Amino acid sequence: MTAPRPGAHAPATPQRIEVLAVTGIGEVRPGDDVAALLTAAATGTGAEADAAAGVGLRDGDIVVVTSKIVSKAEGRVRQAPDRTQAIMDETERVVARRGDTVISQTRHGFVMAAAGVDASNTDPGTVLLLPEDPDASARRIRAGLGGRVGVIVSDTFGRPWRNGLTDVAIGAAGVRPLDDFRGTSDTYGNPLSATVTALADEIAGAAELVKGKLDGVPVAIVRGLSHLVTEDDGPGVTPLVRPADEDLFRYGSRDVVFARRTIREFADRPVDPEAVRRAVAAGIAAPAPHHTTPWRFVLLESPETRTKLLDAMREAWIDDLRGDGFGEQSIAKRVKRGDVLREAPYLVVPCLVMEGSHTYRDDRRNASEREMFIVATGAGVENFLIQLAVEGLGSAWVSSTMFCRPIVREVLDLPESWDPMGCVAVGHAAAPPRDRAPRTPEDFILTR
């Protein structure tokens, strides 16, 4: 059996866990000290505490705090007649949309309904925003509580494929967020290769059983998990947020087309060839005339081949520009703008083939036949680009190979019947793309 990572998972399952509601906290206002309110309520000494409130706070306890009171204390309250503008302001990326329901990614990396903007349990005409930095909030609360305790800031999330809501951790301090069993074996000796338990989320969900949505109990203490409490603040919830490249469901079906963006600056990271091949599979699913398959995708996975092709294309471009009367300084600027292909770690040359096309007696119909195949090739490339975005890859479709097709065929040893239709730069975006200029569909529609 492969030894687990040091400290990767708990040494044993606890035999008893208690979840205790902390009552008597009362209404939280901007500027309140959450840790002081919790201490007073947990010990039964606060002004609003009742006889049942004094559950105490012990070393090894994990305190789960609803994000709403953290947001209120930190002044994350906004005047708003409705949530629409607040949701837009808090949204970094729209993942899916249906009617008035918006699933958004926040700048924290959380994917949740309405970017976490909440109009419940707050004064009419106001909304609550998520804490600016929930991990930092958890660290401050933990420092204020003192002792060896953990703190989780929780919020309510929906879940794909499942009805109902549950609380999860959006901030943590002093709590190990994950239990990683990869590299170990189960009781039958089967190797575990994908088992990673979201401990912080499980604790947040357990705490919600005693907090409730309507009972006015924003805090719970989970007791019996002291082995998950760490001496330092730890990594927070960062390990719980799935990286974009590992997210198989990054985009909602209604918004996946809009995920495709032209990327011209790429990070120095390799591209998974299998991801590109999956994108090709999407490309060849496009419609085409006469049940044909007019697409071919040349994958330039060799750095030497990419350099050889780009050098030959650059020389051909320079010759064309000189022939058009451009000066050397102007030529240098134009060539520099074409470096997006040279900076990309992966290139793809989509090609058009006319196999299966019909031949007619007049040039007009033959020209229309070719146009149909060109349109089909464009549809295939668009499918390809969209799937690259789904795979977490950026791309830029550049027309350059269309201006020197004989050279491209020669360098890549392509059949004469293959027409290169530009070149697609592929890679991981070095920075988020710029916002699109707003476009209104009605501006592009003519109704008869």
Nearest-5° angle of CA 168, CA 170, CA 172?
105
Average pLDDT over residues 132-158: 96
Instruction: Please give the pLDDT value at position 119.
Output: 87
Assess whether pLDDT exceeds 90 at residue 8: no
This prediction's pTM:
0.70
Instruction: Please give the pLDDT value at position 74.
Output: 97
Percent of the chain residues topping a pLDDT of 70: 93
DSSP assignment of 5-74 equals PTT-S-SS--S--EEEEE-------TT--HHHHHHHHHHT-STT--TT------TT-EEEEEHHHHHHHT
DSSP alpha helices (H): ranges in 101-254? Answer: 134-145, 199-211
Q: Answer for the pair 263, 428: CB distance below 8 angstroms, yes or no.
A: no
Q: Quick one: DSSP state of residue 85?
A: H
Task: For CATH 3.30.1330.100, list the domain ranges present in the chain.
Answer: 18-76+131-246
Assess whether pLDDT exceeds 80 at residue 289: yes
pLDDT-based confidence at 191, cuts 50/70/90? confident
pLDDT-based confidence at 45, cuts 50/70/90? low
pLDDT-based confidence at 195, cuts 50/70/90? confident
Instruction: Please give the pLDDT value at position 160.
Output: 82
Instruction: Please give the pLDDT value at position 336.
Output: 76
Topology of domain 18-76+131-246, CATH: 60s Ribosomal Protein L30; Chain: A; (3.30.1330)
Kindly tell me the sign of the dihedral angle through the C-alpha atoms of 413, 418, 419, 424: negative
Residue 112 β-bridge partners: 104
Q: At 248, is the secondary structure helix, strand, or coil?
A: coil
Q: What span, in angstroms and rounded, lies between the C-alpha atoms of 235 and 418?
A: 53
- For the stretch 98-128, pLDDT in tens is 788 888 899 999 999 999 999 888 888 899 9
257-442 — its CATH code?
Answer: 3.40.109.10
**Amino acid, single-letter form, for residue 7:** G
Percent of the chain residues topping a pLDDT of 90: 64
How many Cβ atoms sit within 10 Å of the Cβ of residue 234?
Answer: 21
pLDDT-based confidence at 5, cuts 50/70/90? very low
Q: How far is CA 252 from the centre of its chain?
A: 11
Average pLDDT over residues 423-432: 92
Instruction: Please give the pLDDT value at position 286.
Output: 97
Assess whether pLDDT exceeds 80 at residue 214: no
Q: What span, in angstroms and rounded, lies between the C-alpha atoms of 39 and 36?
A: 5
Assess whether pLDDT exceeds 80 at residue 408: yes
Q: Which two tokens stand for residue 351?
A: 């090609």
Average pLDDT over residues 46-50: 48
Average pLDDT over residues 48-68: 77
Q: At 185, is the secondary structure helix, strand, or coil?
A: strand
Average pLDDT over residues 164-173: 95
pLDDT-based confidence at 375, cuts 50/70/90? very high
Q: What span, in angstroms and rounded, lies between the C-alpha atoms of 142 and 140?
A: 5
